Chains A and B, each alone.
Chain A
Amino acid sequence: MSTVTVDGVEVEMEAGATLLDAAKAAGRWVPTLCFDERQAPFGACRVCLVGLADSPKPVPACTTPCRDGMEVETEQPAARRVAGAVVELALSELPGRPAAGTELARVAERLDVTEPRWPGAVHERRGDLRHPYLALQHELCISCGRCVRACDEVQGAFALTATGRGFEANIAAGLDAGFEDSTCVSCGACADTCPTDAITEIGLLPQLSEE
């Protein structure tokens, strides 16, 4: 057990708990994009940064274990500045705005991030509609790894992978020949967790494009 203070609220945390768990226990909001409570923390998006007393740099809440006596500030200025800047970078790689209601759109709104100021390259549009239920729009992928981990940790189907590196990073099903030619069992866990609807139910596509 450890006692952690989050924005002045003391919480008792079990061994193995993270600062994100502590923030939730204290009723405080911390932005996240790559986190899904059904999966092991991944630490990729870096928008869950929080201030920590006596730490020169903000720390990622999702991968930092609680230690007794820690004092966390969720809205520390540097942490929130970086979180906003990262969300702006994520928006800048998409060819259009994320659909309203997606986790990315909601986090951006809450952090007051509007139009990205980076005019450079965006992901090339590449839609894969070969599966009867699951649509994969590669250009909307922000490489958060949630679909890959859902397939690995939740479903155990191992049908998805991260691909490429750097700005070209993306995802693929199987040998990149679509869900049907992979070990996909059509469970939909990937679509359920995707924060941008890069993977979604085909039936929802017309609705998304109207928005």
Chain B
Amino acid sequence: MSQNLVELIRRRHAVQAPTALDVLKEAVDDHGEVTDADRVHAAELSGLPEAAVYGVSTFYDDLLAPRGRRHVRVCTGTACFAAAGEAPLEQIGAGLGLKPGERDAEGSVSLAETVCLGFCHSSPAVRDGETIDAGTGVIDRVLGSATRAAPEPEWESLLPEPVLTRPGDWAGLRRALTELDPETLLSEVEAAEVRGRGGAGFPAGTKWHFARDAAGEEKFIVANGDEGDPGSYIDKYLMERSPELVLEGMALAGLAVGAGHGFVLCRSEYPLSKPALETAAASARAEGLLGEGILGTGFDFDVTVIEGAGSYVVGEETALLACIQGLRGTVSARPPFPAERGIQGMPTVVNNIETLANIPYVAARGAGAYHGLSPDSETAGSKLVCFNQCFARPSVYEVPFGATVRKLCQEVAGGLRDGATIKAVQIGGPLGGILPASLLDTRFDFDALAAVGCMVGHGSILAFDESTSMREVATHLLRFGADESCGKCFPCRIGLHRAHEEFASGAPVDRERLEQLLETLELGSLCAHGSGMPAPLRSLLEHFPEELGLE
């Protein structure tokens, strides 16, 4: 991230100027596209140079596809792919007479791809204007202009007492402000060994400690709600059903590290998340739980909710900080880590939404109780998992760590619907390994999954049934990987494009050259997008080599 641009943004922030991204998003909402006049206007309001604004306007999906009065976005995430292959985009495109990214001459209708709408429980999903429709018959309903809002699933906790699938009650913050001091709270979170739920599994307490110790006039807390992993709709549910729990977790983080302000970045693909968080924040302010002098103490903390603009890699923490500041969502080399230099160059904690939702329980009940939630696993706490449409009972479930993947698939989610059998499951998003049916007895926790080339990741469990072609899975995943590469580091920017070309060509794939490319991505990439994309490919090479068309 350019230090000069960050300094410009810091000065403009002091006078409450909008970011360039805010202004460009408003232009698209207003007249369906970004024009040069909009870019000049965004530069004037945000204080960014015109060229930098131009760069922003060419980065985010939401700013690139022109919109007609009716804007149809077809989800091409992995759950929708597992349910319907390429059919939704092909058939809707043919019916509307448009290719993705096109708008008709009259400006009445436009078509775009989107990844992913978080309706993986009832794929395939399509967003028609503000309505998200999903499930059987959705293609006909889109073409007949008769879409309807798809139902949201109910979530369920398998714990004796729900920790994450409950409304927030602010008991953790109340206790922290009355019975604990910030140091004790931080020690409690460190002792609880809360591991990050966004993919990397980094201990939250360690991150907080770094930020607490870092020097800065101001510090910030960032909640990463950019749950871009296709197949995952866990953070969506937390932000929309239990936003208080997330806000309480942020306030606790603020108290522990000495930060007075937080930002939540939620996705534009989840149109309900930002309003839900803002409503909850307004209620909390009215009750004295956010704002100045919280609960009559000297603690001040407030939150700003920001919506992204369509980019998977913005879920990476340095790219997330760039997006929040209205810049291109590209990754920056670490060090410096956000805990030393983040928002406006100040120490910043970036935690995933679900990670933050764990904190109120730790603050209210203590580290010991938190460790007791998963008696059969080394991993502390509980986990939200979610299942795709192929399962009989796809939904979000709160489970202890340590159950086998088979138990989760068969007993919790009811096995596959229509008597189908599981060929393989991809766990934790597109950067997670793929577990073949023969390894379903692997335990669901950080260490056991890592031992078989998989990860907990975001907690999505996405089944492919026996009819799935694994070469098509590889092609699908690589297309996603190449499309979403932020373009900063060379291995990911060029390598994922080359890997996708190889698989999409239909020709035999040179195994030796592919493995060299996977090594280049793994060892050379700047962030987990490039270094993680090989994981599912490695799984497929190990378990389904005969299906990949190798030579």
Contact = CB atoms under 8 A, between A and B. Distances in A.
B220 interface: no
B443 interface: no
A181 to B, nearest CB: 10
Interface in B297-355: 311, 328, 330, 332-335
A201 interface: no
Nearest to B483: A166
Interface in A21-75: 33, 40-47, 49, 57-58, 60, 63, 65
Which 9 residue pairs spanning A and B have beta carbons closest together?
Answer: A43-B333, A169-B487, A161-B55, A158-B49, A167-B497, A120-B501, A166-B485, A89-B494, A161-B51
Interface string A147-162: 0010011001011111
Contacts, number: 156
Contacts of B59: 163-165
Interface in B498-521: 498, 501, 513, 516-517, 519-520
A172 B335 contact: no
B5 interface: yes
Contacts of A202: none
Interface in A171-211: 172-176, 182-183
B2 A86 contact: no
Interface string B42-80: 000000011110110011000000000000000000000
A82 B523 contact: yes
A88 B522 CA distance: 16
A85 interface: yes
B170 to A, nearest CB: 40
A40 B2 CA distance: 9
A149 B5 CA distance: 11
Which of B55, B330, B513 gathers the greatest number of chain A CB atoms within 10 Å? Answer: B55
Contacts of B54: 161, 163, 172, 174-176
Contacts of A161: 49, 51-52, 54-55, 328
Interface string A118-150: 101100000000000000000000110100010
Interface of A: 33, 40-47, 49, 57-58, 60, 63, 65, 78-79, 81-82, 85-86, 89-90, 92-93, 117-118, 120-121, 142-143, 145, 149, 152-153, 156, 158-169, 172-176, 182-183
A168 to B, nearest CB: 7
Chain B interface, DSSP helix/strand/loop, else mixed: helix
A43 to B, nearest CB: 3
Nearest to A176: B54
Given A49-B523, A85-B517, A121-B501, A162 B330 contact: yes
A86 B51 contact: no
B172 interface: no
Contacts of A156: 4
A165 B311 contact: yes
B523 A92 contact: no
Contacts of B526: 43-44, 46
A46 B525 contact: yes
Contacts of A63: 333-335
A89 B519 contact: no
A167 B493 contact: yes
B335 A82 contact: no
Given A120-B498, A165-B485, A167-B482, 19 more contacts: A57-B522, A65-B335, A82-B523, A85-B517, A90-B490, A93-B494, A143-B487, A143-B488, A152-B5, A158-B51, A159-B51, A161-B328, A163-B54, A165-B484, A166-B486, A172-B54, A174-B51, A175-B39, A175-B50
A2 to B, nearest CB: 15
A117 B484 CA distance: 24
Contacts of A169: 487-488, 493
Which of B59, B311, B522 gathers the greatest number of chain A CB atoms within 10 Å? Answer: B59
A118 B4 CA distance: 38
Interface in B361-393: none
B36 interface: yes
A182 B51 contact: yes
Contacts of A85: 491, 516-517, 519-520, 524
Contacts of A43: 332-333, 489, 526
